[in-house]
Amino acid sequence: MKITALLVLKCAPETSDPVILANASDVSHFGYFQRSSVKEFVVFVGRTVASRTPPSQRQSVQHEGCAPFLILDLPGLCPGFNFTRLQLFVHAYNRNGLCAVGFMDDHYPVRSAFSLLNQVLDEYQKSFGEAWRSAKEDSSQPWPYLTEALNKFQDPAEADKLLKIQRELDETKIILHKTIDSVLARGEKLDSLVEKSSDLSMASQMFYKQAKKTNSCCTIL
């Protein structure tokens, strides 16, 4: 359930490279030496995927765990295979030239990912207007909303209202089941109370009759 990075890019027409407008990444769970390379990886993949996403389309790409790598142009080093344990899904959403790309792991539900990308795009358009259309190079200023979004939306329920509603409804249902059980137990207790109270009323009636009998029978002595 982890978001590794969120990117906003401007997807120019096919000829040129997409331009990165905002970038937020969380690489803390990779090893120290891998962090910078992961960041590069994120940038690179984001550009590639964004450039290949047609406008007003959504796309998901999976990067699997094992990927061999070959070193070719280095004399003295024979090609070797190194396997990565990276499991990443890249979700991209292109909307009229403005692209949002998210890097998540495979537990993150796809639907929440796309609704999150939607929100990010809306927010970006709200805060930056149309200024991004003229961007020609990668902007390196961090956009605080994106970093905060990255932190907030690690839990997919935050991004996807439907998921949140479904979760709350399930909790409510569980609570209601417990309530019904306790109401049934209450019913049983009430039944036992009814029994006891009817016995009590019988006993008190007998008591009254006895008392009346002793009173009315012998007047003197």
Kindly indicate which of the ranges 105-113, 119-127, 133-141, 146-154 contains the residues binding other proteins, using the contact rule CB under 8 A.
Answer: 105-113
CA dist., res. 141 & res. 23, Å (int): 8
Kindly indicate which of the ranges 4-12, 32-40, 122-130, 139-147 contains the residues binding other proteins, using the contact rule CB under 8 A.
Answer: 32-40
Verify binding: residue 96, other proteins, rule CB under 8 A: no
Residue 42: CB atoms within 10 A of its CB come to 22
Restricted to residues 130-149, the positions that interact with other proteins (CB under 8 A) are none
Backbone angles phi, psi at 10, to 5 degrees: -105, 120
- Smallest separation, CB 148 to other proteins (Å): 25
Q: Rule CB under 8 A: choose which of 1, 148, 172, 178 binds other proteins.
A: 172
- Smallest separation, CB 186 to other proteins (Å): 7
- Smallest separation, CB 201 to other proteins (Å): 4
CA dist., res. 88 & res. 102, Å (int): 10
Helix, strand, coil abundance in the chain, percent, nearest 5: 50, 15, 30
- Smallest separation, CB 152 to other proteins (Å): 21
- Smallest separation, CB 164 to other proteins (Å): 10
Per the structure block, which two tokens stand in for 132?
């991004």
Verify binding: residue 78, other proteins, rule CB under 8 A: no
Q: Rule CB under 8 A: choose which of 57, 96, 127, 151 binds other proteins.
A: 57
Nearest Cα residue to 22 out of 118, 135, 153:
135
Restricted to residues 2-21, the positions that interact with other proteins (CB under 8 A) are 17
Nearest Cα residue to 90 out of 50, 139, 143:
50
Verify binding: residue 110, other proteins, rule CB under 8 A: yes
* Closest to other proteins by CB, 20 or 145: 20
Q: Rule CB under 8 A: choose which of 13, 73, 75, 137 binds other proteins.
A: 73
Buried b (16+ CB within 10 A) or exposed e, 70-109: eeeeeeeeeeeeeeeebebbbbbbbbeebbbbbbbeeebb
Which H or E run includes 8? strand 3-10
Angle 31-25-158 (CA atoms, 0-180°, nearest 5)?
115
Verify binding: residue 71, other proteins, rule CB under 8 A: yes
- Smallest separation, CB 220 to other proteins (Å): 6
